[in-house]
Structure 1
Amino acid sequence: MTKIFAHRGYSGKYPENTLKSFKKAIDYGAQGIETDVQMSRDGELILIHDEKIDRTSNGTGYVFNMSYNELLELDFGEWKRKKFRGEKIPKLSELLELVQDKNIELNLEIKNNIIHYPNIEEKIITLISDFQMEDRVIISSFNHESVLKCKSINKKIRCGPLTYSNLINPHKYINEYKFDTFHPMYRSLDSEKIQVLKNNGTPIYTYTVDIKEEMNFLIKNGIEGIITNEIEIALSCLINQ
């Protein structure tokens, strides 16, 4: 059965990658949460999509140039709407603590394809292990070397490559590097490609699907996960299949 993953939390209605967005995703019934992991100057694992804080905060500059305490001084909610003023940037540990006792899966995207964060893979996997959540976390990244590194550190954690453009014979690529999952952009999928991947035993978690017709198509074709900003629409599609 297809699972609905909240893209950066319930980012359609709430400020992305904040605890409020994650909590609301759970409240509305999402079965999973997708989020982005980067690292502050002092080594804290924090959840933010952009390499710079300009778009989603009242500050400016690169994440890696700022300490965690400096980031905590900023507002990460008001850019969405004034009523969300006061939302802070969360740490990965806060999200793990939030979902630890809930039936929620996590898809952690390591954002190290533009900025290199030394040893971020080891830090993430150590934290997942500390929370004993290896079986409920999927790690993905556009940096496929980083995904392979994660897999070499802990084979219990599912890991898979993110792709934006079409791959030739993606099932062969998955097999060659022994990835557990595949994370393509949804427009690169059609029924034939989905079937080949399913025949290969490759779970598909596709992003970022906000159109009802596309959701219905993907659910009917039996993909494992839809990552979306529009949780309520996706869940209604799931119910009505």
Structure 2
Amino acid sequence: MNYLVHNIKYLRRKHHWTQQQLADELAVKRALIGSYEEGRATPKIPVLQRLAALLESTIDRLLDTPLETQQPQNKPLPRVLPIVVDQNNEELIPIVPVKASAGYLNGFADPEYVEALPRFYMPIPELSRTATYRVFQIRGDSMLPIAPDSYVFCEYISELNEMKEGQPYLLITKEEGLVYKRVFFKAGNRLLLKSDNAAYESYSIEMGQVLELWKAIGVLSFELPKPETSEAAHISAVLNEVKEEIRKLRKV
């Protein structure tokens, strides 16, 4: 079944856009948006591509998946998040190093445990003073090109429906503890967790398994870029020579 008609209308309203605003974003006439939503016209492939990118989805999902029925319920995760503040009442950012990740599953709801974690304050514009952040150190190569032992800066998400499909999140789950994956919605109140490293298989979990949810917003790594290999350097040199020859031929 083609769900495009329902999905366009649902996602437009979810983003609080008028038909004219969506038309402006897609560079089409407003009347066409009405035709799409009523099933009287079908977007051409370039418009579908822009639409999928704008709505943070894929063409396949827009066509084949009833997105409205797969969205998580608008309810908070079942707990109060403990935070740490300094003497000026500025919220500090706790760090969860790899060696503490196993204990975090048992202590994440304990204010004394969270307060005992290393913490710092970072007054930069990219971090809102109204949001709550935490830094998690991750190990393993499932999320390459993010290097193992990198520190991932995360913003706390209090409601499941705040998630954006296909974005990376750090989840605290009942069965696996701390996991860092890209999240996709599935039917039956389930989430599909996918690694960026194709060598790792995707898997799904029930939404009720999620104890804590953090949106990844940045990475701190102490692994510096490696120099080009001799083979890569040779290829680069050859390409530069070809470009130079083309430039000379154009002048002639």
- Tell me which interval the TM-score lies in, with the shorter structure as reference length: under 0.3
Q: Which has the larger strand fraction?
A: 2
With the length of structure 1 as denominator, give the TM-score of the two structures: 0.25
